[in-house]
Amino acid sequence: MNIGGLRVGPLGAADRDRILAAARSAEPTYEHVGSTIDPARWSAPGVDARHLDIGEGPVVFDEGREALRTWVAHTGIGASIEPAGQPVVAGATLLVVLGRGPFHVVAPNRIVGVVDEPGCFGFAYGSLPGHPERGEESFVVEHLDDGTVRVTIRLQAIAGSVAARAGGPLVRYLQAAAVHGYLRAIADHVRQNALREAR
């Protein structure tokens, strides 16, 4: 059973392939495509940002960039990405799968923008039909002029299902908790790998 992205039972290979095929032919479920990756639009109403400084120097930046490329952030909320090993490329369609006991949330997304420049790497993905929210989220790591490496997550999303709308404050709490989990996972990854390289 699948209601607004919430499934009872695990996501099998056949279901995964069917959901991905449908998502690849779908359009985003929101109008502000690119709002979380385009600096000119960050001040728009509803765009929320959280950041965390994760260290200093080029090694830390490289590890932060690698964390985003390999979906480390999503391990912080216990989520997996399907297809596994999905490269971060504009136009790619993917599923974020989050399981708790017999329940799984399957959230179809499309990568709507990628930034890959010296000192800045990141991407934004946006919701497709079947996602419990409507909107966009971006993940960006920057090597600032003073040497600080900063990870920023921006979100512009609203509830996309009746169940999510009914959740109101709980949904906002879960969004905030997810962002905290993303940032913590990236910071932990960078700390462990940067220390190993320093030895």
What is the per-residue pLDDT across 162-175, written as a single tens digit (0 to 9) for each?
Answer: 555 555 566 667 77
Q: Distance between CA 92 and CA 140 in Å, rounded?
A: 17
DSSP run (H or E) holding 125: strand 120-127
Using a 10 angstrom Cβ sphere, with 0-12 exposed, 13-18 middle and 19 or more buried, the burial of residue 65 is: buried
In this model, does residue 31 exceed pLDDT 70?
yes
**For position 151, which CATH number holds?**
3.30.530.20
% the chain with pLDDT above 70: 87
Q: What is the tens place of the pLDDT at every residue in 128-184?
A: 999 989 999 999 999 999 999 999 999 999 876 555 555 556 666 777 889 999 999
Domain count, the chain: 1
Task: Give me 25's structure tokens.
Answer: 């032919």
3-state class (DSSP) for residue 180: helix
Q: Would you state the pLDDT for residue 196? A: 67
Q: Would you state the pLDDT for residue 78? A: 93
**Within 13 Å, how many C-alpha atoms sit on residue 132's CB side?**
23
Report the DSSP beta bridge partners of residue 2: 7
Mean pLDDT of 21-35: 96
Q: Distance between CA 176 and CA 89 in Å, rounded?
A: 26
DSSP class of residue 44? S
Report the DSSP beta bridge partners of residue 52: 151
Is 131 within 8 Å of 151 (Cβ atoms)?
no
Task: Give me 127's structure tokens.
Answer: 């919701």
Q: pLDDT class for 198, splitting at 50, 70, 90?
A: low
Structural domain for 168, as ranges: 2-198
Is 95 within 8 Å of 119 (Cβ atoms)?
no
Report the DSSP beta bridge partners of residue 114: 123
Mean pLDDT for the chain?
89
Q: Distance between CA 115 and CA 42 in Å, rounded?
A: 15
Task: Supply the angle between the helices 58-69 and 169-198 in degrees, to the nearest 10.
Answer: 130
Is 127 within 8 Å of 157 (Cβ atoms)?
yes
In this model, does residue 9 exceed pLDDT 60?
yes
